Each structure stands twice: as C-alpha cells, then as structure tokens.
Amino acid sequence: MDACTTEAQPAPLDHAAIRTIIVGVMLAMLLAALDQTIIGTALPTIGAEFGDLENLSWIVTAYLLTGTAVTPMVGKLADIHGPRPVLNGCIALFLVGSIACALAPSMLWLIGGRAVQGLGGGGLIALAQTIIGLLVPPRERGRYQVYFAAVFITSSIAGPILGGFFAQHLHWSLIFWINVPLGIAAAAMSDRTLRRLPAHHHPRRLDVIGALLMCAATVALLLALSWGGTRFAWTSPQILGLAAISAVIWLGFAVRVATALEPLLPIAVLSNQVVRTGVPSAAFAMGTMVGLSIQMPLYLEGVVRLSASQSGLALIPLMAGVVVGATGASQVMSRVTHYKRLPVLGLVGGILALLVLAYEPVNPPLWLYLVAMGVTGIGLGTVLPVSTVAIQNAVPLPQMGTATGLANFFRSLGSAILTAGFGAVVISMSGLEGSGSMETLLGGGQAGSEALALAFRWVFLMAAAALTLSLIAMIAMQERPLRGHASPAAALPE
C-alpha cells in the first residue's frame, strides 16, 4: 500500500459525529434532489407562457448537460482539495443559476440560467455520495441510508406537488426562488459540519482539455436528438452532420483518455469490471427515471386531462417508488451475499409495467397508470444504491471521488440523452410544435391528445428497452464481498 493511500485512511469517528456530518450534507443534497422533481410539473405551464414547446426539453437538458460535464471534475477536485470547499462552490453556482432562472424574461434566458444551475447542482449529489464513501464502510452504509431516504422522500413527494401548485396557483418562478433560503441554510450548516471530516487530499491534475472535449461531444449529440424530426429531418445533412461531429469528438476524447497523464476518466477506474458494468446499469436506470419524470406531466395533462396540481400528485408513485426501492435495497444489501438479486427482480418488474402502459396509452385507467408507475419506480430505485456501493467498494480510497464522479457523470449523461430522446419522440410523433399546438393540447383538443398518446406509446417502449439494457449490465456485474471496515480497498483494475 502506497503512502498516499495510507494517508487517506480516515481517523475513526463515532456514530454521533458521522450523523452530524451527514445531516449537514443532507441539506446540500436536498437542493439537487428537489430541483430534479419540482421542475417537471411546471414545464407545460412554462412552455405555454413563453409560447415555445419545441425547446421545452432544453430546460432540463441544459441542466443535465452542464451537470454531466462538471461531475467528473468535481470528483477529482474533491480528491485534491477535500469535499468542503468544492461543496461550497457548487452551492454558490447553484444559487446564482436559480436566481437567473427566476428572473428569466425568455425561454433562451431560462435555458441559460439552468445551464449555470447545473454547474452547481451536478456536483452536489456526487459530493454527498463521496463523503459517505469516505466516512462509512460499504457493509455499514445501510444504517445511514435512512437520512438520505428522508431527503429523497421529501423531494419526491414535495417536489411535484410544489411545482404543480406554484405553476397553477402562483407563478412558476417560485420553483427557483425557493432554492435561495435552502441554499443559504445548506451552505451555513454543511460548511460547519464538514470541518469535522478527516482530511483526504491527494495530488491530482485536472484534465480541462478532456472536459471540454466531453462537453462538446455531448452538446452535438443532444442537439441531434433534440432537433431530429422537429427542426430537421432525421436523415437531413444537419442531423447527420451533428451525429458525425459528436462521434469524431468522442473519438478524440477516447484518445485523450488513453494518452493523458491524468485523464478526466482514469483508465485504472474504467478498466475495473464492477465499474464497467455497474456504471451503465445505473446510467440507463437513472436516465429512464429522469426522462419519465420530465415527460409524464405532459402526458398526464394532455392525455389523462389532469391539472398541473393533479399531475404533481400523480407523479408521486414513480418518485416515491424510487425512494422505497432504494431504501429497501440499501438495507438488504448489507445483510445478504447476493445483493444483485433485488435490483434484477426490480428491473424485470419495471420492464413489464412499462410494457403494460405501452399496450394501451390512449385511455388507461388512472389506477393502472399509478400502479405501473409505482412498480417502475421501485424497480429503478433498487438499482441506484446497489450500483453506487458496489462501485465504491471496488476501488481504492484515493479514487473514491473520481469513481463516484464517473458514476454520476454517466448517470447524468444517460439522463440527458434519454430526456432528449423522449422529448424528440414526443414532439416529432405528436406534431405538437409551437405555442398554438401547446394551447390546443392543454385546452382539450382531441386530435392533439390522441397523437400525443400514441407518441407516448413509443416513449414507454423506449423506457422498457433502456431498463432491459440496465438489467443486462446488472446481471453481468460481479458481486464482490463488501468491506466491513474502513481500510481502503485494494486496487482491482481487472
């Protein structure tokens, strides 16, 4: 074991000290978790106010894009400087972006504000997971999941309800103003509690060129997905050109990873078998969850004919199911040897539930939709903690931040791609472009409603296909014994 790894071993902290640190981190994590759930139910209202349905998905995509690009760098910065100053910087960026969004006079301004917000929000959840990985050994991590379950239960239930209520009865800008007092409180409390965290500083270099290449490749890909079938035909020179540009830049990024002294995504981490399989499993699951949570309010308001507030309530089974599945998997994982079995069963259930919705999307009974979304949410939730703990368990402690950042990078990338893909399908197959079609849809137009329902059949099928890929990767992931003590893992670059 090298000197750097030896220095990285944390000084022992008792349960009370760990709990104090976790409570401080929870407030920061609540910012990002609430922002993922509160925006969805307000999107149809925002699109109608700005008269722009075509670019509506970019409110989410811009956040996911910048959050995706910054996540690996945040993980590496936490390895270099420790998590406390990095967390404070992320909160500050998040608040600046939130204020810009709340004051947005146009769709373009709002999208730009969301991009700034994503720079901060992208690192909050990754940093929280890194801090837990530093403090608590994998086998004991389940006892602390109740705190994080409380965060996600709060955001999963309160987010859709608040978003729908603000959009319908007050003003959608309040979904961003609410971040300001939460962010100030999170910064004050997390800064104080994180001073108790043992120092974990490791000499690293930032791969800025790699980050720029990755961001450019992702932008080109998302533009192709968002504009295909709407602004341009899928086979047009513009879309094919964007796809080709993305492929070339991704190739350049791969060359950079292979040749840089300290690449943004280290080969030692990428070559780990658990990382290679756990990361895509989580990416497809998270992408499906985010994509559905963003698109379902449009389905509920345009097809099922619910109000914005009612659609927020109807999202609860999906989001609460994720929390139930994640909490259950966390508790079971620390007590059993074959911890993959629960997410495998959960994914199978989610796939079947989505296929049921795809069979009859035009006029499904509300109870069937609620049950199917609940089953899907539980299945998605089982994947996330199992993949995260397995990945952290498989890497040495000095690579904890980098590995966690890598996992969250691909989760964000999967979320951005699937959200853009779902949105492209909805827009292109329903024919709902521009403000007039949005007003017709929300006003009760039957033709638009039926076209939208048929478009969502393909959304449900795409989601089922994504969960199938997640299932394949989860089955392939090795079940390595979880460490039951705080010593770093041996490097296992298989």
Domain harbouring 382, CATH code: 1.20.1250.20
Check whether residue 318 and residue 443 sit in a common domain: yes
- Give the whole-number percent of the chain exceeding pLDDT 90: 8
Q: Which two tokens stand for residue 215?
A: 């961001």
Q: Are 297 and 40 in contact (CB under 8 A)?
A: yes
Q: Are 297 and 311 in contact (CB under 8 A)?
A: yes
DSSP state of 340: T
Is the residue at 482 inside a domain? no
Closest CA to 195 of 9, 30, 13: 13
Burial of 472: CB neighbours in 10 Å, binned 0-12, 13-18, 19+: middle
Q: Average pLDDT over the chain, rounded to whole?
A: 76
Q: Which two tokens stand for residue 382?
A: 């089982």
Check whether residue 223 and residue 320 sit in a common domain: no
Residue 190, CA distances (Å) to 30, 79, 89, 134, 475 in order: 12, 18, 12, 16, 37
Helical (H) or strand (E) element with 19: helix 15-38
Please state the domain count of the chain. Answer: 2
- Give the whole-number percent of the chain exceeding pLDDT 70: 74
Q: How far apart are CA 427 and CA 424, in angstroms?
A: 5
Q: How far does CA 416 lie from the centroid of its chain?
A: 8
Check whether residue 180 and residue 319 sit in a common domain: yes
**Cβ within 8 Å of residue 149, ≥6 positions away:** 323, 326, 327, 330
DSSP state of 232: B
pLDDT-based confidence at residue 160 (cuts at 50, 70, 90):
confident
Q: Are 422 and 291 in contact (CB under 8 A)?
A: yes
pLDDT-based confidence at residue 376 (cuts at 50, 70, 90):
very high
Query: What is the pLDDT at residue 10?
Result: 43
Q: Check whether 5 has a pLDDT greater than 60.
A: no
Is the residue at 485 inside a domain? no
* Number of residues assigned to the chain: 494
> Residue 228, SS3?
strand
Q: Check whether 58 has a pLDDT greater than 70.
A: yes
Q: How far apart are CA 295 and CA 423, in angstroms?
A: 7
Residue 228: φ, ψ to 5°: -65, 125
> Residue 171, SS3?
coil
Mean predicted confidence (pLDDT) in 421-436: 66
The residue with tokens 């705190």 is 147
Is the residue at 141 inside a domain? yes
Check whether residue 460 and residue 327 sit in a common domain: yes
Q: Are 399 and 134 in contact (CB under 8 A)?
A: no
Check whether residue 252 and residue 273 sit in a common domain: no
Is the residue at 114 inside a domain? yes
Check whether residue 374 and residue 424 sit in a common domain: yes
Closest CA to 231 of 439, 433, 455, 438: 433
pLDDT-wise least confident of 45-59, 116-130, 146-160, 236-250:
146-160
Dihedral sign (CA 165, 166, 167, 170): positive
Check whether residue 106 and residue 215 sit in a common domain: no
Tens digits of per-residue pLDDT, 223-247? Answer: 787 677 667 777 888 889 998 999 9
Check whether residue 302 and residue 431 sit in a common domain: yes
Check whether residue 277 and residue 422 sit in a common domain: yes
Mean predicted confidence (pLDDT) in 375-396: 84
List alpha helices for 39-178, DSSP H.
43-50, 58-81, 83-102, 107-135, 145-169, 174-177
Pick the more confident residue, 95 or 309: 95
DSSP state of 491: P
| pTM, rounded to two decimals | 0.69
**Cβ within 8 Å of residue 164, ≥6 positions away:** 41, 42, 297, 307, 308, 309, 310, 311, 312, 313
Query: What is the pLDDT at residue 222?
Result: 73
Closest CA to 196 of 66, 23, 373: 23
Q: Check whether 432 has a pLDDT greater than 60.
A: no
Dihedral angle, C-alpha 310, 312, 313, 317, nearest 10 °: 140
Check whether residue 311 and residue 180 sit in a common domain: yes
Is the residue at 488 inside a domain? no
pLDDT-based confidence at residue 488 (cuts at 50, 70, 90):
very low
Residue 26, CA distances (Å) to 158, 161, 179, 194, 464 in order: 16, 21, 14, 12, 32
Is the residue at 402 inside a domain? yes
Tens digits of per-residue pLDDT, 301-351? Answer: 777 777 767 777 787 888 778 878 887 887 777 777 788 888 999 999 999
Query: What is the pLDDT at residue 448?
Result: 52
Mean predicted confidence (pLDDT) in 389-409: 74
Dihedral sign (CA 355, 360, 362, 363): negative
Check whether residue 188 and residue 224 sit in a common domain: no
Closest CA to 27 of 193, 163, 138, 142: 193
Is the residue at 232 inside a domain? yes
Mapping DSSP onto H, E and C, the string for 315-335 reads CHHHHHHHHHHHHHHHHHHCC
Mean predicted confidence (pLDDT) in 31-59: 73
Position 8, amino acid: A
Is the residue at 490 inside a domain? no
Domain hosting residue 389, numbered range: 11-195+262-476
Tens digits of per-residue pLDDT, 174-210? Answer: 888 888 887 888 777 766 666 666 555 555 666 778 8
Q: Check whether 466 has a pLDDT greater than 90.
A: yes
Check whether residue 342 and residue 425 sit in a common domain: yes
